[in-house]
Chain A
Amino acid sequence: MIAIINYDAGNLTSVARAVSHIGFQCIITNKTKEIKTAERVIFPGVGAAGSAMESIKRLGLDEAIRDVFIKGNPILGICLGTQVIMGHSEENDTPCLGLIDGWVRAFPTDMKSEQGTSLKIPHMGWNSINTVGNNHPVLSGLRKDDEFYFVHGFYPEPNNKAHVLATTEHGISFASIIGHKNLIATQFHPEKSGRPGLTLLKNFCMWNPC
Protein backbone atom coordinates (compact mmCIF):
# COMPACT_ATOMS: atom_id res chain seq x y z
CA MET A 1 0.00 0.00 0.00
CA ILE A 2 1.15 3.52 -0.83
CA ALA A 3 0.38 6.24 1.72
CA ILE A 4 -0.30 9.75 0.43
CA ILE A 5 0.37 12.07 3.35
CA ASN A 6 -2.49 14.45 4.11
CA TYR A 7 -1.47 17.53 6.06
CA ASP A 8 -4.28 19.89 4.99
CA ALA A 9 -2.14 21.24 2.14
CA GLY A 10 -4.38 21.29 -0.88
CA ASN A 11 -6.42 18.75 -2.71
CA LEU A 12 -4.60 15.42 -2.75
CA THR A 13 -7.15 13.47 -4.73
CA SER A 14 -5.44 14.26 -8.05
CA VAL A 15 -2.32 12.42 -6.84
CA ALA A 16 -4.48 9.50 -5.64
CA ARG A 17 -6.36 9.38 -8.96
CA ALA A 18 -3.11 9.26 -10.94
CA VAL A 19 -1.68 6.47 -8.74
CA SER A 20 -4.89 4.45 -9.12
CA HIS A 21 -4.89 5.09 -12.88
CA ILE A 22 -1.46 3.46 -13.26
CA GLY A 23 -2.64 0.43 -11.29
CA PHE A 24 -1.44 0.90 -7.70
CA GLN A 25 -3.43 1.04 -4.48
CA CYS A 26 -3.11 4.06 -2.22
CA ILE A 27 -4.67 5.74 0.77
CA ILE A 28 -4.77 9.42 1.68
CA THR A 29 -3.91 9.57 5.37
CA ASN A 30 -2.68 11.73 8.24
CA LYS A 31 -2.26 8.80 10.65
CA THR A 32 1.36 8.27 11.66
CA LYS A 33 0.85 4.51 12.06
CA GLU A 34 -0.44 4.10 8.49
CA ILE A 35 2.46 6.18 7.17
CA LYS A 36 5.09 4.24 9.12
CA THR A 37 3.75 0.86 7.97
CA ALA A 38 3.15 1.83 4.32
CA GLU A 39 5.30 0.16 1.68
CA ARG A 40 6.07 3.58 0.20
CA VAL A 41 5.04 7.17 0.85
CA ILE A 42 4.07 10.13 -1.33
CA PHE A 43 4.42 13.56 0.25
CA PRO A 44 2.58 16.10 -1.95
CA GLY A 45 1.17 19.53 -1.14
CA VAL A 46 0.20 22.94 -2.40
CA GLY A 47 0.32 26.10 -0.30
CA ALA A 48 2.74 27.95 1.93
CA ALA A 49 5.66 26.46 3.87
CA GLY A 50 4.76 28.14 7.18
CA SER A 51 1.25 26.74 7.57
CA ALA A 52 2.35 23.41 6.07
CA MET A 53 5.06 22.90 8.73
CA GLU A 54 2.58 23.89 11.45
CA SER A 55 0.15 21.18 10.32
CA ILE A 56 2.96 18.63 9.93
CA LYS A 57 4.13 19.20 13.50
CA ARG A 58 0.62 19.36 14.95
CA LEU A 59 -0.21 15.99 13.38
CA GLY A 60 3.14 14.45 14.41
CA LEU A 61 3.99 13.80 10.79
CA ASP A 62 7.55 15.21 11.04
CA GLU A 63 8.61 12.30 13.18
CA ALA A 64 6.71 9.78 10.98
CA ILE A 65 8.40 11.02 7.79
CA ARG A 66 11.87 10.96 9.40
CA ASP A 67 11.11 7.44 10.58
CA VAL A 68 10.20 6.27 7.04
CA PHE A 69 13.32 7.97 5.63
CA ILE A 70 15.64 6.26 8.14
CA LYS A 71 13.90 2.90 7.64
CA GLY A 72 14.63 3.14 3.91
CA ASN A 73 11.18 2.89 2.36
CA PRO A 74 10.76 4.93 -0.84
CA ILE A 75 9.51 8.51 -0.41
CA LEU A 76 8.34 10.78 -3.24
CA GLY A 77 8.04 14.51 -2.55
CA ILE A 78 5.93 16.69 -4.84
CA CYS A 79 5.95 20.52 -5.04
CA LEU A 80 5.48 21.86 -1.49
CA GLY A 81 6.32 18.37 -0.20
CA THR A 82 9.68 18.72 -1.97
CA GLN A 83 10.32 22.06 -0.32
CA VAL A 84 9.53 21.08 3.26
CA ILE A 85 12.00 18.15 3.18
CA MET A 86 14.77 20.77 2.88
CA GLY A 87 16.45 22.40 5.88
CA HIS A 88 14.93 25.87 5.81
CA SER A 89 12.50 27.80 3.61
CA GLU A 90 12.64 31.51 2.83
CA GLU A 91 8.84 31.36 2.61
CA ASN A 92 7.61 32.61 5.99
CA ASP A 93 11.24 32.00 7.22
CA THR A 94 10.31 28.43 8.10
CA PRO A 95 12.55 25.73 9.61
CA CYS A 96 11.69 22.54 7.69
CA LEU A 97 12.31 18.78 8.02
CA GLY A 98 15.96 18.77 6.97
CA LEU A 99 16.04 15.38 5.23
CA ILE A 100 18.18 17.09 2.59
CA ASP A 101 20.50 19.92 3.70
CA GLY A 102 19.88 23.23 2.01
CA TRP A 103 17.46 26.09 1.50
CA VAL A 104 14.22 26.80 -0.26
CA ARG A 105 14.68 30.09 -2.10
CA ALA A 106 12.26 32.61 -3.61
CA PHE A 107 12.70 33.39 -7.31
CA PRO A 108 14.26 36.82 -7.86
CA THR A 109 11.51 39.33 -8.64
CA ASP A 110 13.07 41.14 -11.59
CA MET A 111 14.00 38.31 -13.96
CA LYS A 112 13.93 38.92 -17.73
CA SER A 113 13.62 36.46 -20.61
CA GLU A 114 16.14 36.36 -23.48
CA GLN A 115 13.70 38.61 -25.39
CA GLY A 116 13.81 41.15 -22.54
CA THR A 117 10.23 40.63 -21.34
CA SER A 118 9.80 40.24 -17.60
CA LEU A 119 9.35 36.68 -16.38
CA LYS A 120 6.25 35.96 -14.39
CA ILE A 121 6.24 34.57 -10.85
CA PRO A 122 4.90 32.07 -9.89
CA HIS A 123 6.61 29.88 -12.46
CA MET A 124 3.47 28.28 -13.86
CA GLY A 125 3.11 26.03 -16.86
CA TRP A 126 5.07 23.39 -18.80
CA ASN A 127 8.84 23.37 -18.74
CA SER A 128 11.59 20.91 -19.62
CA ILE A 129 14.17 19.32 -17.33
CA ASN A 130 17.87 18.61 -17.79
CA THR A 131 18.83 15.47 -15.94
CA VAL A 132 22.18 15.48 -14.15
CA GLY A 133 24.50 12.49 -13.87
CA ASN A 134 23.53 8.83 -14.09
CA ASN A 135 19.95 7.99 -14.87
CA HIS A 136 18.03 7.50 -11.64
CA PRO A 137 15.68 4.46 -11.86
CA VAL A 138 12.65 6.69 -11.18
CA LEU A 139 13.57 8.76 -14.26
CA SER A 140 13.93 5.86 -16.68
CA GLY A 141 11.82 5.85 -19.83
CA LEU A 142 11.55 9.65 -20.06
CA ARG A 143 12.20 11.21 -23.47
CA LYS A 144 14.59 14.04 -24.20
CA ASP A 145 11.95 16.70 -24.90
CA ASP A 146 9.49 15.68 -22.18
CA GLU A 147 8.03 18.57 -20.21
CA PHE A 148 6.38 18.75 -16.80
CA TYR A 149 3.76 20.98 -15.18
CA PHE A 150 5.02 23.47 -12.58
CA VAL A 151 3.23 25.92 -10.23
CA HIS A 152 5.57 27.51 -7.66
CA GLY A 153 7.22 30.70 -6.48
CA PHE A 154 10.01 29.00 -4.44
CA TYR A 155 12.52 26.30 -5.35
CA PRO A 156 14.83 23.88 -3.47
CA GLU A 157 18.59 24.54 -3.34
CA PRO A 158 20.47 21.55 -1.85
CA ASN A 159 23.88 22.30 -0.33
CA ASN A 160 25.31 19.12 -1.83
CA LYS A 161 25.13 19.33 -5.63
CA ALA A 162 25.07 15.51 -5.76
CA HIS A 163 21.48 15.75 -4.50
CA VAL A 164 20.38 17.59 -7.66
CA LEU A 165 19.01 15.08 -10.17
CA ALA A 166 17.59 17.55 -12.70
CA THR A 167 17.51 21.27 -13.32
CA THR A 168 15.03 23.59 -15.07
CA GLU A 169 15.46 27.11 -16.49
CA HIS A 170 13.17 29.99 -15.52
CA GLY A 171 15.30 33.11 -15.47
CA ILE A 172 17.72 31.10 -13.35
CA SER A 173 18.58 27.41 -13.34
CA PHE A 174 17.01 25.67 -10.33
CA ALA A 175 16.80 22.10 -9.02
CA SER A 176 13.57 20.58 -10.35
CA ILE A 177 14.27 17.03 -9.13
CA ILE A 178 16.30 16.25 -6.02
CA GLY A 179 17.13 12.94 -4.43
CA HIS A 180 19.09 11.30 -1.64
CA LYS A 181 19.09 7.60 -0.75
CA ASN A 182 15.46 6.36 -0.68
CA LEU A 183 14.05 9.85 -1.25
CA ILE A 184 13.24 11.48 -4.58
CA ALA A 185 11.35 14.73 -4.93
CA THR A 186 10.05 16.82 -7.83
CA GLN A 187 9.25 20.52 -7.85
CA PHE A 188 6.72 19.87 -10.65
CA HIS A 189 3.47 17.92 -10.50
CA PRO A 190 3.90 14.46 -12.08
CA GLU A 191 0.18 13.79 -11.51
CA LYS A 192 -0.61 16.71 -13.85
CA SER A 193 2.17 16.12 -16.39
CA GLY A 194 0.53 13.63 -18.72
CA ARG A 195 2.43 10.60 -20.01
CA PRO A 196 5.92 11.54 -18.71
CA GLY A 197 4.49 12.36 -15.28
CA LEU A 198 2.65 9.04 -15.10
CA THR A 199 5.84 7.25 -16.21
CA LEU A 200 7.74 8.84 -13.33
CA LEU A 201 4.99 7.92 -10.84
CA LYS A 202 4.91 4.34 -12.09
CA ASN A 203 8.71 4.09 -11.80
CA PHE A 204 8.44 5.36 -8.24
CA CYS A 205 5.73 2.81 -7.39
CA MET A 206 8.09 0.01 -8.47
CA TRP A 207 11.37 1.49 -7.17
CA ASN A 208 13.42 -0.54 -4.70
CA PRO A 209 16.24 1.67 -3.44
CA CYS A 210 19.10 -0.29 -1.89
Chain B
Amino acid sequence: MLSKRIIPCLDVREGKTTKGVKFKNNVDIGDPVEMARFYYEGGADEIVFYDITASYEKRNIMIDVVRRVAETIFIPFSVGGGIRTVDDMRSVLLAGAEKVSVNSAAVKNPEIISKGAAAFGKQCIVLGMDVKYVGIKEKIPSGYEIVINGGRTHTGLDALEWAIRAENLGAGEICLNSIDADGTKDGYELNLTALISQNVDIPVIASGGAGKPEHLFDVLTKGKADAALVASMIHFGNYTISEIKSYLDSLGIKVRKTW
Protein backbone atom coordinates (compact mmCIF):
# COMPACT_ATOMS: atom_id res chain seq x y z
CA MET B 1 0.00 0.00 0.00
CA LEU B 2 1.32 3.45 -0.93
CA SER B 3 2.38 5.79 1.82
CA LYS B 4 0.90 9.26 2.03
CA ARG B 5 3.64 11.69 1.07
CA ILE B 6 4.77 14.68 3.12
CA ILE B 7 6.35 17.24 0.82
CA PRO B 8 8.21 20.37 1.94
CA CYS B 9 7.77 23.28 -0.41
CA LEU B 10 10.60 25.76 -0.93
CA ASP B 11 9.99 29.06 -2.68
CA VAL B 12 13.20 30.18 -4.35
CA ARG B 13 13.95 33.69 -5.56
CA GLU B 14 17.24 34.36 -7.32
CA GLY B 15 18.77 31.29 -5.70
CA LYS B 16 17.54 31.88 -2.13
CA THR B 17 14.57 30.27 -0.33
CA THR B 18 11.72 32.43 0.89
CA LYS B 19 8.26 31.83 2.29
CA GLY B 20 5.56 34.36 1.69
CA VAL B 21 2.26 34.83 3.43
CA LYS B 22 -0.39 35.07 0.72
CA PHE B 23 2.46 35.66 -1.73
CA LYS B 24 3.35 39.01 -0.15
CA ASN B 25 6.24 40.18 2.07
CA ASN B 26 8.64 37.40 1.13
CA VAL B 27 11.59 37.03 3.48
CA ASP B 28 14.75 35.07 2.81
CA ILE B 29 15.10 32.05 5.05
CA GLY B 30 18.01 30.20 3.53
CA ASP B 31 19.99 28.31 0.96
CA PRO B 32 17.77 25.92 -1.06
CA VAL B 33 20.44 23.23 -1.41
CA GLU B 34 21.13 23.11 2.33
CA MET B 35 17.40 23.19 3.14
CA ALA B 36 16.81 20.35 0.66
CA ARG B 37 19.54 18.31 2.35
CA PHE B 38 18.06 19.07 5.78
CA TYR B 39 14.59 17.88 4.75
CA TYR B 40 15.95 14.88 2.82
CA GLU B 41 17.80 13.72 5.92
CA GLY B 42 14.74 14.53 8.02
CA GLY B 43 12.35 12.22 6.18
CA ALA B 44 10.78 14.30 3.39
CA ASP B 45 9.23 12.02 0.77
CA GLU B 46 9.71 14.50 -2.05
CA ILE B 47 10.55 18.21 -2.33
CA VAL B 48 8.82 20.90 -4.36
CA PHE B 49 10.69 24.00 -5.50
CA TYR B 50 8.89 27.07 -6.80
CA ASP B 51 11.07 29.52 -8.63
CA ILE B 52 9.54 32.93 -7.96
CA THR B 53 12.36 34.83 -9.64
CA ALA B 54 10.64 37.67 -11.45
CA SER B 55 13.11 38.09 -14.27
CA TYR B 56 13.22 35.48 -17.02
CA GLU B 57 16.89 36.35 -17.64
CA LYS B 58 17.86 35.18 -14.14
CA ARG B 59 16.36 31.71 -14.56
CA ASN B 60 19.78 30.14 -15.07
CA ILE B 61 20.37 30.66 -11.36
CA MET B 62 17.56 28.15 -10.72
CA ILE B 63 19.01 25.60 -13.16
CA ASP B 64 22.24 25.74 -11.16
CA VAL B 65 20.26 25.24 -7.91
CA VAL B 66 18.49 22.22 -9.46
CA ARG B 67 21.80 20.70 -10.50
CA ARG B 68 23.28 21.10 -7.00
CA VAL B 69 20.12 19.74 -5.35
CA ALA B 70 20.25 16.68 -7.62
CA GLU B 71 23.82 15.96 -6.47
CA THR B 72 22.76 16.25 -2.83
CA ILE B 73 19.43 14.47 -2.36
CA PHE B 74 18.29 11.08 -3.64
CA ILE B 75 14.52 11.38 -3.51
CA PRO B 76 12.23 12.85 -6.19
CA PHE B 77 11.86 16.60 -6.47
CA SER B 78 9.87 18.87 -8.72
CA VAL B 79 10.44 22.37 -9.98
CA GLY B 80 7.78 24.88 -10.91
CA GLY B 81 7.53 28.58 -11.55
CA GLY B 82 8.44 30.28 -14.78
CA ILE B 83 8.19 27.13 -16.92
CA ARG B 84 6.79 28.48 -20.20
CA THR B 85 7.96 26.08 -22.91
CA VAL B 86 8.85 22.44 -23.48
CA ASP B 87 12.49 23.61 -23.66
CA ASP B 88 12.16 25.12 -20.17
CA MET B 89 10.86 21.73 -18.99
CA ARG B 90 13.76 19.95 -20.66
CA SER B 91 16.43 22.11 -19.04
CA VAL B 92 14.94 21.55 -15.56
CA LEU B 93 14.61 17.77 -16.08
CA LEU B 94 18.10 17.45 -17.55
CA ALA B 95 19.48 19.37 -14.55
CA GLY B 96 18.12 16.52 -12.41
CA ALA B 97 14.53 17.27 -11.35
CA GLU B 98 12.13 14.31 -11.44
CA LYS B 99 9.09 16.41 -12.35
CA VAL B 100 8.20 19.87 -13.61
CA SER B 101 5.10 21.75 -12.70
CA VAL B 102 3.25 24.18 -14.91
CA ASN B 103 0.63 26.61 -13.70
CA SER B 104 -0.13 29.88 -15.50
CA ALA B 105 1.70 28.73 -18.64
CA ALA B 106 -0.79 25.83 -18.90
CA VAL B 107 -3.74 28.17 -18.43
CA LYS B 108 -2.47 30.36 -21.28
CA ASN B 109 -1.41 27.41 -23.44
CA PRO B 110 -2.90 24.04 -22.37
CA GLU B 111 -0.92 22.28 -25.13
CA ILE B 112 2.22 22.57 -23.01
CA ILE B 113 0.78 19.73 -20.89
CA SER B 114 0.27 17.34 -23.80
CA LYS B 115 3.56 18.30 -25.45
CA GLY B 116 5.44 17.88 -22.18
CA ALA B 117 3.78 14.52 -21.50
CA ALA B 118 4.61 13.29 -25.01
CA ALA B 119 8.24 14.38 -24.71
CA PHE B 120 9.03 13.26 -21.15
CA GLY B 121 6.17 11.01 -19.97
CA LYS B 122 3.07 11.88 -17.96
CA GLN B 123 4.77 11.09 -14.67
CA CYS B 124 7.03 14.14 -15.20
CA ILE B 125 4.24 16.66 -15.68
CA VAL B 126 2.57 18.21 -12.64
CA LEU B 127 -0.28 20.67 -13.05
CA GLY B 128 -0.08 23.41 -10.44
CA MET B 129 -3.48 24.97 -9.74
CA ASP B 130 -4.03 28.16 -7.72
CA VAL B 131 -7.68 28.19 -6.74
CA LYS B 132 -9.97 30.75 -5.12
CA TYR B 133 -13.55 30.28 -3.91
CA VAL B 134 -15.82 32.71 -5.78
CA GLY B 135 -19.25 31.17 -5.21
CA ILE B 136 -21.24 29.07 -7.66
CA LYS B 137 -21.84 30.93 -10.92
CA GLU B 138 -22.92 29.93 -14.38
CA LYS B 139 -19.34 29.83 -15.66
CA ILE B 140 -17.95 28.46 -12.37
CA PRO B 141 -20.27 25.54 -11.49
CA SER B 142 -18.00 24.22 -8.73
CA GLY B 143 -17.68 27.64 -7.11
CA TYR B 144 -13.89 27.39 -7.35
CA GLU B 145 -12.05 29.45 -9.94
CA ILE B 146 -8.50 29.16 -11.27
CA VAL B 147 -6.45 32.29 -10.59
CA ILE B 148 -2.95 33.18 -11.81
CA ASN B 149 -0.26 35.76 -11.09
CA GLY B 150 -0.22 34.87 -7.42
CA GLY B 151 -3.99 35.17 -7.14
CA ARG B 152 -4.26 38.63 -8.71
CA THR B 153 -5.77 37.54 -12.04
CA HIS B 154 -9.03 35.61 -12.39
CA THR B 155 -9.12 33.31 -15.44
CA GLY B 156 -12.80 32.42 -15.70
CA LEU B 157 -11.84 28.72 -15.58
CA ASP B 158 -13.72 26.39 -13.27
CA ALA B 159 -11.19 24.52 -11.09
CA LEU B 160 -12.87 21.11 -11.40
CA GLU B 161 -13.30 21.37 -15.17
CA TRP B 162 -9.68 22.49 -15.54
CA ALA B 163 -8.38 19.59 -13.41
CA ILE B 164 -10.26 17.01 -15.51
CA ARG B 165 -9.16 18.66 -18.75
CA ALA B 166 -5.52 18.73 -17.64
CA GLU B 167 -5.71 15.05 -16.72
CA ASN B 168 -7.03 14.27 -20.20
CA LEU B 169 -4.22 16.36 -21.73
CA GLY B 170 -1.66 14.19 -19.93
CA ALA B 171 -0.91 15.74 -16.54
CA GLY B 172 0.45 13.02 -14.23
CA GLU B 173 -0.30 14.72 -10.95
CA ILE B 174 -2.02 17.83 -9.57
CA CYS B 175 -0.60 20.17 -6.98
CA LEU B 176 -3.68 21.94 -5.68
CA ASN B 177 -3.12 25.22 -3.89
CA SER B 178 -5.92 27.11 -2.19
CA ILE B 179 -5.18 30.84 -2.35
CA ASP B 180 -7.76 31.36 0.40
CA ALA B 181 -5.97 29.01 2.79
CA ASP B 182 -2.37 29.74 1.74
CA GLY B 183 -0.31 31.19 4.57
CA THR B 184 -3.19 31.20 7.06
CA LYS B 185 -2.02 28.12 9.05
CA ASP B 186 -5.73 27.43 9.66
CA GLY B 187 -5.79 24.16 7.74
CA TYR B 188 -6.11 23.00 4.14
CA GLU B 189 -9.23 23.70 2.05
CA LEU B 190 -10.81 20.29 2.60
CA ASN B 191 -13.90 20.71 0.39
CA LEU B 192 -11.83 21.80 -2.59
CA THR B 193 -9.28 19.02 -2.09
CA ALA B 194 -11.90 16.29 -1.80
CA LEU B 195 -13.79 17.67 -4.80
CA ILE B 196 -10.76 17.52 -7.08
CA SER B 197 -9.30 14.30 -5.68
CA GLN B 198 -12.52 12.34 -6.08
CA ASN B 199 -12.98 13.44 -9.67
CA VAL B 200 -9.56 12.72 -11.17
CA ASP B 201 -7.59 9.47 -11.36
CA ILE B 202 -4.18 11.10 -10.90
CA PRO B 203 -2.63 11.84 -7.49
CA VAL B 204 -3.48 15.14 -5.81
CA ILE B 205 -1.05 17.02 -3.57
CA ALA B 206 -2.88 19.37 -1.22
CA SER B 207 -1.29 22.76 -0.65
CA GLY B 208 -1.97 25.88 1.36
CA GLY B 209 -2.96 26.34 4.99
CA ALA B 210 -0.95 23.73 6.92
CA GLY B 211 -0.26 24.94 10.46
CA LYS B 212 -0.29 21.81 12.60
CA PRO B 213 -0.18 18.02 12.15
CA GLU B 214 -3.97 17.71 12.62
CA HIS B 215 -4.39 19.65 9.38
CA LEU B 216 -2.42 16.99 7.50
CA PHE B 217 -4.52 14.24 9.04
CA ASP B 218 -7.69 16.02 7.91
CA VAL B 219 -6.57 16.59 4.32
CA LEU B 220 -5.24 13.03 3.91
CA THR B 221 -8.54 11.55 5.21
CA LYS B 222 -11.51 13.90 4.65
CA GLY B 223 -9.68 15.75 1.86
CA LYS B 224 -8.74 12.41 0.15
CA ALA B 225 -5.35 13.85 -0.81
CA ASP B 226 -2.47 11.55 -1.78
CA ALA B 227 0.15 13.92 -0.43
CA ALA B 228 0.38 17.11 1.60
CA LEU B 229 2.62 20.10 1.01
CA VAL B 230 4.10 21.79 4.07
CA ALA B 231 6.05 25.04 4.29
CA SER B 232 6.07 27.53 7.16
CA MET B 233 5.06 24.97 9.81
CA ILE B 234 8.40 23.23 9.25
CA HIS B 235 10.57 26.09 7.90
CA PHE B 236 10.45 27.99 11.19
CA GLY B 237 11.11 24.96 13.38
CA ASN B 238 7.60 24.63 14.88
CA TYR B 239 7.39 20.99 13.75
CA THR B 240 9.70 18.43 12.17
CA ILE B 241 8.68 16.05 9.41
CA SER B 242 9.43 13.20 11.78
CA GLU B 243 6.99 14.59 14.38
CA ILE B 244 4.30 15.03 11.74
CA LYS B 245 4.80 11.45 10.52
CA SER B 246 4.73 9.99 14.05
CA TYR B 247 1.45 11.79 14.66
CA LEU B 248 -0.08 10.52 11.40
CA ASP B 249 1.23 6.99 12.05
CA SER B 250 -0.35 6.97 15.51
CA LEU B 251 -3.72 7.68 13.86
CA GLY B 252 -3.32 4.84 11.36
CA ILE B 253 -2.20 6.81 8.30
CA LYS B 254 0.44 4.89 6.33
CA VAL B 255 3.59 7.01 6.09
CA ARG B 256 7.23 6.18 5.33
CA LYS B 257 8.85 5.67 8.73
CA THR B 258 12.50 4.88 7.97
CA TRP B 259 14.92 6.88 5.87
Q: Tell whether B152 is near chain A: CB-to-CB under 8 Å.
A: no
Q: How many A-B residue pairs have CB under 8 A?
A: 83
**Pairwise interchain contact B5-A14, C-beta atoms closer than 8 A:** no
Say which residue of B93, B203, B259 sits within 8 Å of A125 (CB atoms).
Answer: B203
Of A17, A146, A196, the contact of B96 (CB 8 Å cutoff):
A17
| Contact call B74/A197, Cβ cutoff below 8 A | yes
Determine if B123 and A147 form an interchain contact, defined as CB atoms under 8 angstroms apart. no
Q: Are B74 and A123 in contact (CB under 8 A)?
A: no
How many chain B residues touch A (CB < 8 A): the figure is 31
A159 → B minimal CB distance (Å): 27
B2 near A149: Cβ-Cβ < 8 Å:
no
A120 touches B74 (CB 8 A): no
Report the separation of the CA atoms of residues A198 and B75 in the bound assembly, to the nearest whole angstrom. 10
Does B130 have its Cβ within 8 Å of any Cβ on chain A?
no
**A28 CB within 8 Å of chain B:** no
Check B2–A123 contact: CB distance below 8 A: yes
Segment touching B, from A30-38, A64-72, A178-186, A187-195: A187-195
Question: Cβ of B258: which chain A residues have Cβ within 8 Å of it?
Answer: 143, 145-147, 195-196
B19 at the interface (CB under 8 A from A): no
Contact-size category for A: 35 or more
A126-B5 contact given A14-B70, A194-B40, A197-B74, CB 8 Å threshold: yes
Residues of B contacting A120 with CB < 8 Å?
201-203, 226
Report which of B1, B75, B76, B226 forms a contact with A170, defined as CB distance below 8 A: B1
Chain A residues with CB under 8 A of B3 = 125-127, 147
CB 8 Å contact bits of B207-246 with A (1 = contact, 0 = none): 0000000000000000010110000000000000000000
| Residue in B74, B201, B227 whose CB lies within 8 Å of A121 | B201
Q: Given that A121-B201, A143-B258, A169-B1 are contacting pairs, would A14 and B224 also be in contact in the complex, using a CB cutoff of 8 Å?
A: no
**Is A13 interfacial (CB 8 A cutoff)?**
yes
Question: In the complex, what residues of B have CB within 8 A of residue A195's CB?
Answer: 258-259
- Knowing A17-B96, A120-B201, A120-B203, say if A192 contacts B1 (CB, 8 Å): no
Q: Which residues of A contact B259 (CB under 8 A)?
A: 194-196
Within 8 A of A (CB), among B32-50: 40, 45
A residues within 8 Å of B by Cβ? 10-11, 13-14, 17-18, 21, 46-47, 113-114, 117-118, 120-127, 143, 145-147, 149, 151, 169-170, 191-198
